[in-house]
């Protein structure tokens, strides 16, 4: 294997390649566009396109594509060859500035939530120059945003870029109030930790539920699960190690800063964390990471499962979204800082996040909602469906002292007046972290832990950036008017801590007492996707997104509807898969076994043996098989009656009628699995799936 330095970024048209290959003026003009978030001039684009094409051809590429992230959370690409005909039957390979900057996507079968019907069927894609072009499978991929001709966002990238702008605009106002006139841009940074499962491909191929739903719909808990805690950080299995080495190499070539890898809590579960980057790039890189995990796994005869809950009874997979804000001068705004001035600024930005999470807890919950993630949230393994913030005891005590106007008497006694005193040193030891909290301060960043493992990180960061932008907007409006900045700042921080401290909770988020306590505090509990997604169009939330020009009312409605529609469709696919497996595999297998069992009993009796357990077992088998058949019929009826009206009705029906029918069908099947001869069971069971990869 080549050294990491040699391969890192070799398939990326990155800054150093641009510097090498572009004329000086073009390089400078492109940089200006990137740094200032401006539109790219067509002349500049033509020069860049040509250099990009030459570079791509040298690296064996034959096609290019506008690579984008439609609303169904996958990445989309349509490949075009660089080919252009010449008179006389010859061809040349061309790529124009126009083709680089803007593409037309007749993507009428991609979800649009009703947005496109009022406009043209086509949408267009536009290059996002903040994210480098790269080569994947001999195709030059140009990261793009995807909009309708009316300018409405039809993808996950557009609102993310808009939310980054909004956050920057407001954060810079605040920094100017602190006299930091050199700050001209603030950029959110994201480091998403990605969890996944690996299973053997031969076993995977024999399970329709894994093939169609990405998760098991049947399966009895194996004798050993994760109770010994021996998998987390355990020695990595040889096959998995080979997969990880291969994955790292592929990711490094694509400029993804893959850094940490380890085994996770559940058997067969693993994690990869990259070094953080700006939010839009982190989002692209996470999509690439998921795609590569799937591809590389296949080379090792493994399948990578990204579903949130592939197995019942062991932990599911999520994504921890580490988030902070950096100035263009390289300063982390969530770093506590040493001087009174820096402390005051830190406290203000910290307060802006506390206020944002409290006021938009509904949106944060909605941003992670999906059929798959519902099986995780609130399951006493992942963060709960109730959003709260963990700050740690010391930082909480500091805020309490501030609010009470008292002296903070931690390890150092400090009279706390914002802007006058520095923060006392509080430990930022990673070991005292509360892993049950959905939203935790971890020293110089927040970690939002509720994201599902298969989701794009875009939705959560759009909400986070915009909600914090709104806090900062209100703070800036108030502070800009004041003649005594320091006093006003102190009052504003104290008032906001007082108003929003209910969102801070440092205890055990899995404890049932917390649910009662959270309710007392007036925090929202939105247990399922169906409860959560409609909040996207609550009046206060439309106002938030419209104020910051991130999403319009109709864009929000389309996102809510697509989410509800996918939820209902996913559950329907799962229900149909269960019917297929139970009718054509489980039922016939169990009947065959019962037949053989009955024959054995008859033979034994004929031979004069006195045996009772055979008929007991036969009774148990037969009565559960009857249950199974009844439950199959009930589920079939429920599916047949499913409403075909609007997405919300369909989603409500899926949750209220289909899921409960699936649950009882599974109970019968899992009971049968436990009492049926293994040789008769028609597909691999949990013990094989979870422990076969060595």
Where on the chain is the footprint of ligand ADP (CB under 6 A)? Answer: 189-191, 193, 273-276, 322-324, 332, 430, 444-445
659 and 206 Cβ atoms separated by less than 8 Å = no
Give Cβ neighbours of residue 475 (< 8 Å, ≥ 6 apart). 174, 348, 351, 352, 492
- Residue 206 vs 433, nearer CB to Mg ion: 433
Biggest CA-to-CA distance, the chain:
103
Q: Which is nearer to Mg ion, 262 or 295 (CB)?
A: 262
Nearer to ligand ADP, 266 or 273 (CB): 273
Nearer to ligand ADP, 69 or 187 (CB): 187
Q: Which stretch binds Mg ion (CB under 5 A): 13-21, 236-244, 314-322, 461-469?
A: 314-322
| Shortest Å distance, C-beta 171 to ligand ADP | 14
215 binds, among Mg ion, ligand ADP, none (CB under 5 to 8 A by kind): none
Residues contacting residue 199 through CB under 8 Å, at least 6 positions apart: 210, 268, 302, 303, 305, 689, 690, 692, 693
Measured CA to CA, the distance from residue 227 to residue 451 in angstroms comes to 24
Q: Please identify which residue in the block is written with the tokens 């090792």.
A: 300
Residue 566 interaction partner, one of ligand ADP, Mg ion, none, beta carbon < 5-8 Å per kind: none
Q: Which is nearer to Mg ion, 320 or 559 (CB)?
A: 320
What letters, b where the CB count within 10 A reaches 16 and e where it falls short, cover 563-581? bbbbbbebbbebbbbbbeb
Closest by Cα among 70, 50, 59 to 139: 59
| CA torsion through residues 127, 131, 132, 136, sign | negative
Asked whether the beta carbons of 79 and 141 are under 8 A apart, the reply is no
- Tell me the C-alpha distance between 663 and 579, whole Å: 12
Using DSSP, state whether 447 is helix, strand or coil. strand
Q: Which CB atom, from 192 or from 563, has the smaller least distance to ligand ADP?
A: 192
The residue (of 124 and 276) whose beta carbon lies closer to Mg ion is 276
Shortest reach from residue 334's CB to ligand ADP, in Å: 7
Minimum CB distance to Mg ion, residue 272 (Å): 12
Given Mg ion, ligand ADP, none, residue 437, with its beta carbon under 5 to 8 Å by kind, binds: none
Residue 336 touches which member of ligand ADP, Mg ion, none, C-beta under 5-8 Å by kind: none
- Smallest CA-to-CA distance from 367 within 624, 120, 551 is with 551
Cβ contact 56:64 at 8 Å: yes
Residue 448 or 536 with smaller CB distance to ligand ADP: 448
Q: Is 376 in the site for Mg ion (CB under 5 A)?
A: no
Q: How far is the CB of 335 from ligand ADP (least distance, A)?
A: 8
- 332 or 414: whose CB is closer to ligand ADP? 332
CA gap 676, 140 in Å, rounded: 53
DSSP letters spanning 200-236:
EHHHHTT-HHHHHHSS-SS-PPPS--STT--STTPPP
501, HSE (Cβ side, Cα atoms, 13 Å): 15
Contact between residue 534 and residue 528 where contact means Cβ atoms under 8 Å apart: no
Minimum Å gap between C-beta 440 and ligand ADP is 9
- Residue 431: contacted member of Mg ion, ligand ADP, none (CB under 5 to 8 Å, by partner type): none
Q: How many amino acids of this chain bind Mg ion (CB under 5 A)?
A: 1
Minimum separation from the CB atom of position 330 to ligand ADP (A): 11
**By CB under 5 A, residue 320 contacts Mg ion:** yes
Residue 332's binding partner among ligand ADP, Mg ion, none (Cβ under 5 to 8 angstroms by kind) is ligand ADP
| Residue 266 binding: pick among Mg ion, ligand ADP, none (C-beta 5-8 Å cut-off by kind) | none
Beta-bridge partners for 126: 102, 145
Q: Is 445 one of the binding residues for Mg ion (CB under 5 A)?
A: no
Closest distance to ligand ADP from the beta carbon of 256 (Å): 11
- Residues of the shown chain interacting with Mg ion in the complex, contacts defined by CB under 5 A: 320
């Amino acid at each position: 294997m080549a050294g990491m330095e040699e391969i890192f970024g070799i398939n990326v048209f990155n800054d150093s390649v641009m510097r090498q290959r572009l004329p000086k003026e073009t390089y400078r003009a492109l940089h200006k566009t990137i740094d200032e978030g401006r539109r790219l001039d067509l002349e500049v684009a033509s020069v860049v396109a040509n250099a990009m094409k030459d570079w791509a051809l040298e690296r064996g590429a034959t096609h290019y594509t506008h690579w984008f992230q439609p609303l169904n959370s996958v990445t989309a690409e349509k490949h075009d060859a660089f080919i252009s005909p010449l008179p006389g039957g010859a061809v040349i390979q061309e790529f124009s500035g126009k083709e680089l900057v803007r593409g037309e996507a007749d993507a009428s079968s991609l979800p649009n939530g009703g947005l496109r019907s009022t406009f043209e069927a086509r949408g267009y894609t536009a290059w996002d120059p903040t994210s480098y072009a790269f080569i994947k499978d001999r195709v030059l991929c140009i990261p793009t945003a995807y909009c309708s001709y009316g300018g409405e966002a039809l993808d996950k990238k557009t609102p993310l870029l808009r939310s980054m702008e909004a956050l920057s605009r407001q954060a810079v106002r605040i920094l100017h109030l602190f006299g930091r006139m050199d700050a001209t841009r603030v950029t959110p940074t994201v480091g998403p930790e990605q969890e996944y499962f690996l299973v053997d491909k031969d076993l995977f191929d024999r399970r329709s539920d894994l093939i169609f739903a990405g998760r098991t719909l049947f399966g009895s808990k194996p004798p050993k699960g994760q109770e010994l805690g021996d998998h987390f950080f355990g020695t990595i299995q040889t096959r998995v190690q080979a997969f990880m080495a291969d994955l790292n190499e592929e990711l490094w070539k694509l400029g993804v800063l893959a850094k940490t890898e380890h085994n996770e809590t559940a058997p067969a579960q693993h994690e990869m964390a990259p070094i953080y980057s700006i939010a839009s790039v982190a989002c692209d890189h996470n999509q690439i990471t998921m795609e590569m995990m799937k591809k590389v796994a296949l080379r090792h005869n493994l399948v990578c499962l990204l579903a949130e809950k592939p197995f019942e009874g062991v932990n599911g997979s999520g994504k921890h979204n580490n988030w902070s804000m950096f100035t263009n001068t390289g300063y982390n705004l969530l770093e506590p800082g040493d001087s009174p001035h820096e402390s005051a600024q830190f406290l203000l930005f910290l307060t802006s996040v506390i206020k944002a999470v409290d006021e938009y807890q509904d949106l944060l919950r909605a941003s992670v909602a999906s059929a798959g993630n519902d099986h995780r949230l609130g399951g006493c393994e992942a963060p709960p469906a109730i959003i709260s913030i963990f700050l740690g005891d010391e930082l909480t005590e500091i805020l309490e002292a501030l609010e009470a106007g008292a002296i903070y008497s931690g390890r150092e006694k400090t009279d706390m007046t914002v802007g006058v005193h520095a923060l006392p040193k509080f430990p930022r030891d990673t070991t005292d972290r509360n892993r049950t909290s959905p939203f935790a301060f971890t020293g110089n960043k927040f970690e939002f832990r509720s994201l599902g493992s298969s989701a794009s990180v875009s939705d959560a960061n759009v909400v986070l950036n915009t909600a914090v932008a709104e806090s900062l907007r209100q703070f800036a409006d108030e502070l800009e008017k004041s003649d005594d900045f320091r006093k006003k700042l102190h009052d504003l921080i104290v008032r906001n801590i007082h108003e929003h401290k209910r969102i801070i909770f440092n205890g055990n988020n899995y404890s049932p007492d917390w649910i009662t306590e959270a309710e007392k505090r007036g925090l929202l509990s939105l247990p399922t996707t169906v409860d959560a997604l409609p909040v996207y169009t609550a009046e206060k939330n439309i106002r938030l997104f419209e104020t910051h020009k991130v999403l319009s009312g109709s864009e929000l409605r389309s996102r809510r509807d697509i989410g509800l529609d996918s939820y209902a469709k996913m559950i329907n696919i799962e229900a149909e898969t269960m019917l297929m497996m139970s009718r054509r595999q489980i039922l016939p297998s169990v009947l065959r076994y019962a037949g053989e069992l009955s024959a054995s009993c008859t033979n034994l009796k004929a031979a004069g043996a006195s045996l009772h357990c055979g008929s007991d077992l036969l009774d148990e088998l037969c009565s559960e098989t009857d249950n199974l058949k009844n439950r199959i019929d009930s589920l079939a009826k429920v599916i047949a009656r499913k409403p075909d009206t609007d997405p919300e009705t369909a989603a409500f029906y899926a949750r209220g009628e289909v899921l409960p029918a699936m649950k009882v069908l599974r109970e019968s099947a899992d009971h049968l699995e436990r009492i049926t001869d293994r040789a008769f069971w028609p597909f691999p069971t949990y013990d094989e799936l979870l422990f076969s990869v060595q």
